[in-house]
Amino acid sequence: MSFTLAIVGRPNVGKSTLFNRLVGKKLALVDDQPGVTRDLREGEARLADLKFTVIDTAGLEDATDDSLEGRMRRLTERAVGMADICLFMIDARAGVTPVDMIFAEILRKRSAHVILAANKGEGSAADAGVIDAWSLGLGEPIRLSAEHGEGLNDLYTHLMPIA
């Protein structure tokens, strides 16, 4: 069975890096394509024997603090509405931020499956942030390094029973 995974989280945590790794090629930046929405990007992902659709959320990058929360809510609702599973990503090096807590609150209210990922997880600088991620109330965090390709086994283990 095929499914759709949406990657959500605040800017700069590594969502697009994971998207590119799962899709296996660098897609052209949607910025370069006039008239194409920059907010959501869709690709066909592959992880071992799993094939699924993955959605990358952007569109928060140039929001100011004033406009960020409303945009986050709308964009997250849209992505979650399209998805069977939601991967909520935080930056383990930065730890849990107030913006992460708002995302977690939005996601806890949704019935969709949520997988929590603590990215930038390579090295000991991430240890405290991975522990901190438990405080979001979304269960056990997967320790990932999207850039180095670490933790994909754990991601697979979490996706497989849902898929």
- Taking the complex as a whole, the smallest distance from the CB of residue 161 to ligand GDP amounts, in Å, to 25
Q: Is 17 in the site for Mg ion (CB under 5 A)?
A: no
Residues 130-159 that bind ligand GDP (CB under 6 A): 145-148
DSSP state of 141: P
Which residue do the tokens 């690709």 mark?
A: 43
- AA letter at 81: G
Residue 20 structure tokens: 């590119």
C-beta of 16 vs 76, nearer to ligand GDP: 16
Site for Mg ion in 110-139 (CB under 5 A): none
Counting contacts by CB under 6 A, is residue 13 touching ligand GDP? yes
Residue 62, token pair as written in the block: 């140039």
Query: Of 103, 38, 53, 84, which Cα lies nearest the Cα of 117?
Result: 103
**With the C-alpha atoms ordered 116, 156, 158, 4, is the resulting torsion angle positive or negative?**
positive
Q: Between 14 and 129, name the residue whose CB sits nearer to ligand GDP.
A: 14
DSSP three-state, residue 4: strand
Considering only residues 112 to 131 of the shown chain, the ones binding ligand GDP according to CB under 6 A are 119-120, 122
Annotated binding residues for GTP, written as ranges, equal 9-16, 56-60, 119-122
- Binding residues for ligand GDP, rule: CB under 6 A, are 11-17, 119-120, 122, 145-148
